[in-house]
């Protein structure tokens, strides 16, 4: 058996501070707001809080564009308030993990200002500057150094008139990519990381950390039919030096710290084989990766090409990750984060069976092998919101996509439908604390509209309700703490070809758990020996009123059985 690192029995809660709780009425969440809501986290029982970025930022990408790594943005508070928050969390036995965004900085970061100052700036090489494509006129369309598109639409290159060169930005033009080939860049990042650890934080969630090593020739990417730009991802996802950099970071920053830390690598496009290397404890890179395969199963040609949900594809994906990291390495488990639509709207039923399907989805996820993440509001069964037109969206990704797609001739209504389904703003509407007009989030005007369903779906209504989604999530967190088979047991997927029922077992020594979830709104037979082999089993978790073990599952029913 693998060693029992503390985070194997832990549950992480993600806070997106902008949308969590606003203490000063400016309509934007802040650190004091989080401090005021610590009881919520303690009640839920989570072990770790991951705080999305709170550093000074022009907020082009809501803080994922950082202009100063060693301070707090005044919108969120200041360093004293931050220290108070850390002390408050630690006082309740909750660890704090900061977001580390070091693939890129803001273009307003001092490092970039210096780099941009001129060709002979000592920091010129801290970013990816390149001349125009040979034989072209700099600054004209098609003169970009290569054909890569940015994740936020348009070219991945921005022309700088002063020097006549371009800089690379995989995300927005206000997020220039740092050049990790330069050892000074790496040292500067490591120094900054040590500074936060010295302040008492317990680790990092490392944003797009598998993008930091790039194929230095930056070759043109394949242009798919109907696309304007080439795909640069083969040259930036898990590039040639990625393992070397992460191991170096480990040596330079984490080695020698003997308190428990959590190191999470967010890695879009990572393969299960590579994840097994990144998370092999003997290699000393990261503890777990945050991968995206299972949240891509309903996306075809890009994220706006929405495909129907097929449970078999979901099982195939999660099952492969469970198997691939069974012997070595570790999974992160999540349905939601601040970049994903709400899971109850995506894989569940956000209408008639919202509560029951939210509980089923939570159960299936939390019973997998890995460390579960709860994204704020998921524990209430929050769903996708209402966006009447493009003016209701705030996210740069959504706004840029709408502009580019409609300019290229797409039907605006169709673009809006895709944004409403997949858009990141679904995750970013204010946390629903109570049923009052602004959901208890702010006394001012919220920076993004509150989901109208807060009247019904809110924390205040759920705390003391033994049947609420919140109470169910509490139970799931408890179970990970109290039942060793949940944290450490092995995993076997069952009924792989069944299009309706999710089923698996977890086994540890003399204990076997059977987890069932009906992913449909109809009663479904379960092709397992429930009436015989599992007849006398203990029912650990259910989401129906009159639980009885039968050979079928009610609509959206979930069941966790134990036999010992
Ligand atoms: O949401 C996405 C775009 O559709 C993802 O591809 C996302 O950009 C990717 O998972 C990386 O996300 C992280 O880095 C981005 C930031 O915008 C996201 O909020 C962050 O989670 C750039 O820093």
Atom of ligand 1 nearest to the CA of 337: 21
Rounded to an integer, the average pLDDT of 393-406 is 97
Given the cut 0.85, state whether the ipTM is greater than it: yes
Catalytic residue among 144, 207, 248, 339: 207
pLDDT at 487 over 80: yes
Q: How many CB atoms lie within 10 A of CB 357?
A: 30
In whole angstroms, how far apart are CA 500 and each of 277, 514, 520? 33, 16, 6
pLDDT at residue 237, as a whole number? 97
422 Cα: distance to centroid of ligand 1 (angstroms): 13
Residue nearest to atom 23 of ligand 1 (CA): 64
- Strand pairing of 129-130 and 95-100? unpaired
- Are 6-105+183-394 and 106-177 the same fold in CATH? no
Domain boundaries, the chain: 6-105+183-394, 106-177, 490-563
Rounded to an integer, the average pLDDT of 359-374 is 98
pLDDT at residue 330, as a whole number? 96
H or E element in which residue 313 lies: helix 311-324
Rounded to an integer, the average pLDDT of 210-239 is 97
pLDDT at residue 414, as a whole number? 97
User: pTM for this structure?
Assistant: 0.97
Which pair of structure tokens corresponds to residue 20?
């969590």
pLDDT at residue 2, as a whole number? 43
522 Cα: distance to centroid of ligand 1 (angstroms): 35
Which pair of structure tokens corresponds to residue 472?
């169910």
Does the beta carbon of 101 lie inside 6 Å of ligand 1? yes
pLDDT at 381 over 70: yes
Does the beta carbon of 268 lie inside 6 Å of ligand 1? yes
Mean predicted lDDT score pLDDT of the chain: 97
How far is the C-alpha of 30 from the C-alpha of 21, rounded, in Å? 6
Told to judge if 273 belongs to the known catalytic residues of this protein, a careful annotator would answer no
Q: How confident is the model at residue 3 (pLDDT cuts 50, 70, 90)?
A: low
Topology of domain 6-105+183-394, CATH? TIM Barrel (3.20.20)
Least confident of 284-293, 409-418, 548-557: 548-557
Does the beta carbon of 10 lie inside 6 Å of ligand 1? no
pLDDT at 221 over 60: yes
How far is the C-alpha of 21 from the C-alpha of 32, rounded, in Å? 8
pLDDT at 1 over 50: no
Q: How confident is the model at residue 306 (pLDDT cuts 50, 70, 90)?
A: very high
pLDDT tens readout for residues 232-270: 999 999 999 999 999 999 999 999 899 999 999 999 999
Sign of CA dihedral 536, 542, 546, 551: negative
pLDDT tens readout for residues 283-298: 999 999 999 999 999 9
Topology of domain 106-177, CATH? Oligo-1,6-glucosidase; domain 2 (3.90.400)
SS (H, E, C) 44-58: HCCCEEEECCCCCCC
Does the beta carbon of 298 lie inside 6 Å of ligand 1? no
Beta pairing partners, 332: 371
Beta pairing partners, 516: 503, 559
pLDDT at 419 over 90: yes
Q: How confident is the model at residue 547 (pLDDT cuts 50, 70, 90)?
A: confident
pLDDT at residue 256, as a whole number? 84
pLDDT tens readout for residues 54-88: 999 999 999 999 999 999 999 999 999 999 999 99
Rounded to an integer, the average pLDDT of 12-31 is 98
Which pair of structure tokens corresponds to residue 12?
């992480």
How far is the C-alpha of 371 from the C-alpha of 373, rounded, in Å? 7
| C-alpha distance across the termini of the chain, in Å | 19
pLDDT at 180 over 60: yes
Residue with tokens 């590579």: 274
pLDDT at residue 9, as a whole number? 97
Determine the Cα angle at 394 with ends 416 and 176, to 5°: 110
How far is the C-alpha of 432 from the C-alpha of 514, rounded, in Å? 33
- The rounded radius of gyration (Å) of the Cα atoms in the chain is 24
Q: How many CB atoms lie within 10 A of CB 228?
A: 12
H or E element in which residue 403 lies: helix 396-407
The architecture CATH gives domain 490-563: Sandwich (2.60)
How far is the C-alpha of 119 from the C-alpha of 127, rounded, in Å? 12
Residue nearest to atom 7 of ligand 1 (CA): 339
Q: How many CB atoms lie within 10 A of CB 508?
A: 16
DSSP character for 439? Answer: T
């Amino acid at each position: 058996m693998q060693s029992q690192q503390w985070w194997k029995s832990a549950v992480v809660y993600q806070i997106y501070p902008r949308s969590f709780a606003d203490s000063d009425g400016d309509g934007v969440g802040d650190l004091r707001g989080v401090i005021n809501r610590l009881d919520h986290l303690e009640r839920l029982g989570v072990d770790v809080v991951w705080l999305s970025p709170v550093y000074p930022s022009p907020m082009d990408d809501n803080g994922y564009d950082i202009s100063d790594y060693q301070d707090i943005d005044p919108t969120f508070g200041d360093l004293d308030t931050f220290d108070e928050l850390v002390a408050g969390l630690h006082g309740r036995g909750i660890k704090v993990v900061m977001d580390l965004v070091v693939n890129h900085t803001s273009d307003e970061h001092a490092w970039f200002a210096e780099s941009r100052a001129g060709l002979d700036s000592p920091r010129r090489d801290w970013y990816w500057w390149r001349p125009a494509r040979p034989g072209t006129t700099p600054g004209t369309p098609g003169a970009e150094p290569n054909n890569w598109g940015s994740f936020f639409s348009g070219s991945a290159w921005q022309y700088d008139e002063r020097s006549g060169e371009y800089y690379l930005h995989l995300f927005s033009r206000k997020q220039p990519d740092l050049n990790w080939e330069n050892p000074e860049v790496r040292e500067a990042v490591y120094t900054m990381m040590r500074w936060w650890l010295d302040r008492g934080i317990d680790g990092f969630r490392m944003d797009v950390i598998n993008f930091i090593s790039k194929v230095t020739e930056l070759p043109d990417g394949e242009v798919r039919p109907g696309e304007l730009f080439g795909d640069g991802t083969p040259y930036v996802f898990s590039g040639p030096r990625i393992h070397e950099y992460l191991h170096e970071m480990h040596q330079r920053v984490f080695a020698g710290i003997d308190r428990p830390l959590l190191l999470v690598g967010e890695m879009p496009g990572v393969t299960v084989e590579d994840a097994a290397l990144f998370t092999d404890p003997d290699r000393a890179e990261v503890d777990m990766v945050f991968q995206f395969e299972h949240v891509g199963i309903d996306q075809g040609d890009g994220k706006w090409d929405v495909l129907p949900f097929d449970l078999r594809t979901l099982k195939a994906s999660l099952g492969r990750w469970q198997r691939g990291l069974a012997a070595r390495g570790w999974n992160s488990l999540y349905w939601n984060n601040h970049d994903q639509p709400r899971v109850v709207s995506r894989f569940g039923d956000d209408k008639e069976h919202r509560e029951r399907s939210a509980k089923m989805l939570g159960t299936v996820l939390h019973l997998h092998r890995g460390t579960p993440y709860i994204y704020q509001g998921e524990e209430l069964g929050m769903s996708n919101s209402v966006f009447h037109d493009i003016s209701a969206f705030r996210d740069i990704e959504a706004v840029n996509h709408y502009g580019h797609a409609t300019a290229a001739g797409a039907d605006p209504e169709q673009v809006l439908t895709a944004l409403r389904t997949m858009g990141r703003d679904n995750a970013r509407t204010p946390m629903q604390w109570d049923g009052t007009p602004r959901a208890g989030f702010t006394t001012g005007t919220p920076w993004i509209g509150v989901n109208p369903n807060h009247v019904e779906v809110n924390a205040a209504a759920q705390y003391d309700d033994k049947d609420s989604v919140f109470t169910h999530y509490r139970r799931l967190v408890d179970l990970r703490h109290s039942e060793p088979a949940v944290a450490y047991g092995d995993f076997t997927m069952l009924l792989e070809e069944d299009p309706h029922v999710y089923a698996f077992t977890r086994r540890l020594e003399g204990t076997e758990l059977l987890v069932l979830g009906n992913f449909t709104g109809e009663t479904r037979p379960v092709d397992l020996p429930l009436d015989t082999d599992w007849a006398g089993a203990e029912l650990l978790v259910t989401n129906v009123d009159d639980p009885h073990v039968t050979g079928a599952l009610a609509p959206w029913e979930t069941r966790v059985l134990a036999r010992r």
